[in-house]
Amino acid sequence: MSAAALTSVPVAHPQRADWTPVWFLLPAVFVTAAVVLFPVAQTVWLSLYDYVIYNPDGSRFVGWGNFVAVLRDEVFWISLRHSIVWIVGVVGLQFLLGLVAALLLNESFWWRGLARSLVIVPWALPSVIIGLMWTWMYDFNVGVLNDMLLRLGVIATPIAWLARPDTALGAIMLALVWQGFPFFAVTLLAGLQTIPADLYEAAEIDGASRWKRFINVTLPSISDVIATALLLRTIWVANSLDVILVMTGGGPGYATHTLPLYAFQRAYSGMEFGYGAALALVLTVLLLAVVWLYVKRASRDIAR
C-alpha cells in the first residue's frame, strides 16, 4: 500500500471517534458475556476443583488432577472412540444422502416444490421428539421397524435395537442421520442453484459424460458450500447429546456414551461438576481446530 493511500484515510473520516456503535453493541456484549463468557470462565475454574454443588465450600483445589484423571478414565476413552465413530459416520452419511437429495431436487419435475418442502421436515423437529419417535419405531415388542424387517425377511426374530450393545450406537446414529441430512440437502441445493447453466452446456459440447460433468463442473463449483456445511455440521454433531440422552441415556452399559454425554452424566447424575467441567473442556479443545477452520471461512465475509 502506498503512503498516499495511508495518509488519505484520516481525510476521508475527519470526524472524532464515534461512540455510537459502542452503545449499539453494549446490550449484546453484556448479555453474551453474562450467559456465555462468564460461564465458560467458571467452567475453567471448576475444572481445577473437586466441586460438589451442594457443598461449594467443601470443594478442594486439585489443579490438573481432574485432567489427569480424565486421561486415566477408561470411560473417557470409550466415549472418545464412540464420538469419533459417531461424527464420521453421522456426518458422512448425512452428507452423502444430502448430496443425492440436493442433486435430485435441482432437477425439474412437477412436484419439485412439494418435495423440497417435505425433505426438510426432520430438520425442524425438536431432538426430544426425534428421540422419542425413533425409540417408538425401534421398540422390541411393537416397533414398526422390526415389523417391516420381518415382513421383508431381513431378520428372523425381532431385535431389541436400543438394548443391545452391538446395535444401540448404530441405531441412534441412523436417527441422527435422519435428523440432519436435510441440512445438507438444502445448503447444497442452494449451492447448485448458483452454478451457471452455460458451464454445463460448454462441458456437454466438449462431449463430457454426465459423470464427468458432475466431477469436473458440479463438485468444484460447490466445493465452498460443501466445506462450510461439513465443518458446521461436524461441530453440531460433535456437541449434540439430547437425542442420545432421550433414546438410551448412554446405555446399555457404556455402549452409546459419547464425550458430551459423558460430561453431562458425570456433572448431573454424578454431581461431579469439576470432573464434568474437565471433560467438557477436553471436548472443546478437541473441537477447536474444526471451529477455527469454520470461523476462518465464515469471517472472510466480514472483511467486506
Partner 1 sequence: MSARSPAARLLQIELPTLLIVLFAIAPYVWMVLTSIKPTPELAEWPVRYLPRAATLDHYRELLSRTSFAGNLLNSLIIATGASLLGLAVSIPAGYAFSRFRFPGRRSLMTGFLVINMFPIVLLIIPLFILMRSLGLIDTFLGVVIGHSTFSIPFAIWMLTSYFATIPQDLDEAATIDGASRWETIRHVILPLVAPGVATAGIYIFITSWNEYLFAMMLSGQSVRTVTVALQLFIGEFTIQWGLLTAGGTLIAIPVTILFLLVQRRLVGGLTAGAVKS
| Span of 57-65, 79-87, 93-101, 159-167 interacting with partner 1 by CB under 8 A | 93-101
Which grid coordinates belong to 157? Answer: 426374530
Residue pointed to by grid coordinates 473520516: 13
Alpha helices in the chain (DSSP H): 3-12, 20-32, 38-46, 65-72, 74-105, 112-119, 121-124, 127-138, 144-152, 165-192, 197-205, 210-213, 219-221, 223-239, 242-247, 259-268, 273-298
- Residues 229, 237, 244, 255: which binds partner 1 (CB under 8 A)? 229
Residue 51 vs residues 43, 65, 267, 276, 281: alpha-carbon distances, Å: 11, 12, 10, 10, 15
Give the residue with the Cβ less far from partner 1, 53 or 71: 53
CB of 295 to partner 1, least distance (A): 5
Considering Cα of 262, then 263, then 265, then 269, what sign does the dihedral take?
positive
Residue from 117, 153, 154, 166 that binds partner 1 (CB under 8 A)? 117
By CB under 8 A, is residue 79 in contact with partner 1? no
For partner 1, the closer of residues 56 and 166 by Cβ is: 56
Q: How far is the CB of 124 from partner 1 (least distance, A)?
A: 4
The residue within the footprint of partner 1, chosen from 24, 152, 205, 211 (CB under 8 A), is 24
Does 254 participate in binding partner 1 (rule CB under 8 A)?
A: no
By the rule CB under 8 A, 244 interacts with partner 1: no
Q: Please calculate the CA angle 90-95-100 and round it to the nearest 5 degrees.
A: 130
Closest to partner 1 by CB, 65 or 166: 65
Q: Which of 20, 72, 166, 205 binds partner 1 (CB under 8 A)?
A: 20
Cα distances (angstroms) measured from residue 38 to each of 27, 44, 45, 86 = 15, 10, 11, 30
- The verdict on 276 binding partner 1 (CB under 8 A) reads yes
Instruction: Fill in the per-residue mask, 32 to 51: x = in contact with partner 1 (CB under 8 A), - = not in contact.
Output: x-xxxxxxx-xx--x-----
Given the complex with partner 1, which of 156 and 166 has the nearer CB atom?
156
Distance of alpha carbon 256 from alpha carbon 250, whole angstroms: 5
Omega cis (within 30) before 126 = no
Report the residue from 69, 84, 97, 195 that binds partner 1 according to the rule CB under 8 A: 97
Of the residues 190, 195, 216, 252, which one makes contact with partner 1 according to CB under 8 A:
190
